[in-house]
Structure 1
Amino acid sequence: MAAVDLSTHPGHLARRLQQAHYLLWNTMVSEEITSPQFAVLNALVAEPGLDQRTVGERVGLDRSTIAEVISRLDRRGLLDKTRDPRDGRRFLLRPTEEGRRTHRRLTVRTARMNQVFLGPLSAAEQAQFLDLIRRVADAAEGLRHPGEPGEPAPAQP
């Protein structure tokens, strides 16, 4: 059997992109704050007072991942958690002053990193690339594993 051309496999290419992004993030943005942590800070700077579930939805993180990210940001003193007065089971999240300073600093670094990451593409190609991967990512978030309890199987093409 002949080897498969992995350059035609989107999952393989997505993994390679993720590796490149991880390397650039750690060298150009931060070794302490991860990209998902930055995404959460960014969401809370835009909409302070969101609850954990809503922040997770905004940034595309599952329940267990968002819980860990919130915990790490809280331990670093980058966000405040206050009990929701209308629902004592929920916490409302806001960036601290240090969280806002960290967000501002990383926003500048992230912009530089994105220029390097997308540098091989023209401005028009960058816009098209971002549109295409956004569409694929949005569609992928709607997929569920067949047979999961309470989840429909993905529609067949």
Structure 2
Amino acid sequence: MPALDLSTHPGHLARRLQQAHTLLWTTIVSEDVTSPQFAVLNTLVGEDGLDQRTVGERVGLDRSTIAEVVRRLVARELIEKTRDTEDARRSVLRLTAEGGRLHHRLAGRTARMNRIFLAPLDPEEQGTFLELLHRVSAAAEELRQPTTRAPGAPRS
């Protein structure tokens, strides 16, 4: 059997894309704060006081991963984690002043990184690329958390 042309395999290309993103992230944005950690900080900047599960869902992290990301951010005193007074099963997350300052510093760097990351594409292609990434990500999310629609039923 001949070797496969991996340039036609989306998973292979996605892995290479992730490698490029990681290289740019650590070079331009931060060697200390990961992209998922920044996503959590960013979510809390927009809406402080969310529960941990909701934050995980918004940034696309599973339960064990969000728990580890939160543990690290709490240890660095970038966020605070407290029990919800109305439901002790829930943990509420709040950005600390230091977390807010760090987010502010990194936000500009992420914008610069994104410009470099998308530079090979013209502006119209960038929009199309992002739209396609959203569609594929949403479909992948449905695989992780299937809806109750009947098999083969059209998506709404």
Q: State the TM-score, normalizing by the size of structure 1.
A: 0.91
Cα deviation per residue 1:36-71 (whole Å; 9 max; x = unaligned)? 000000011111000110000000000000000000
Percent of aligned pairs with the same residue? 67
The ranges of structure 1 where at least 4 consecutive aligned residues each deviate by more than 6 angstroms after the TM superposition are none
Q: Which amino acid aligns with 2:16?
A: R
Unaligned runs of 5+ in 2: none
SS of 1:87's partner is coil
Q: Distance in 1 between matches of 2:139 and 2:96?
A: 34
Tell me how far 1:80 sits from its aligned partner: 1.1
Tell me how far 1:144 sits from its aligned partner: 4.4
Whether 2:71 is the aligned partner of 1:98: answer no
Query: Alignment RMSD, CA only?
Result: 2.1
Tell me how far 1:89 sits from its aligned partner: 2.1
Whether 2:49 is the aligned partner of 1:85: answer no
Q: Distance in 1 between matches of 2:144 and 2:54?
A: 20
Cα deviation per residue 1:74-119 (whole Å; 9 max; x = unaligned)? 0000001122111122221110000000001110000000011000
Alignment of 1:127-142 (within 5 A): 127-142=127-142
Unaligned runs of 5+ in 1: none
Q: State the TM-score, normalizing by the size of structure 2.
A: 0.92
Q: Distance in 2 between matches of 1:127 and 1:85?
A: 43
Q: Which amino acid aligns with 2:7?
A: S
Aligned position for 2:16: 16
SS of 2:94's partner is strand
Q: Which amino acid aligns with 2:123?
A: A
Task: State the aligned residue count.
Answer: 152
Q: Distance in 1 between matches of 2:144 and 2:53?
A: 19
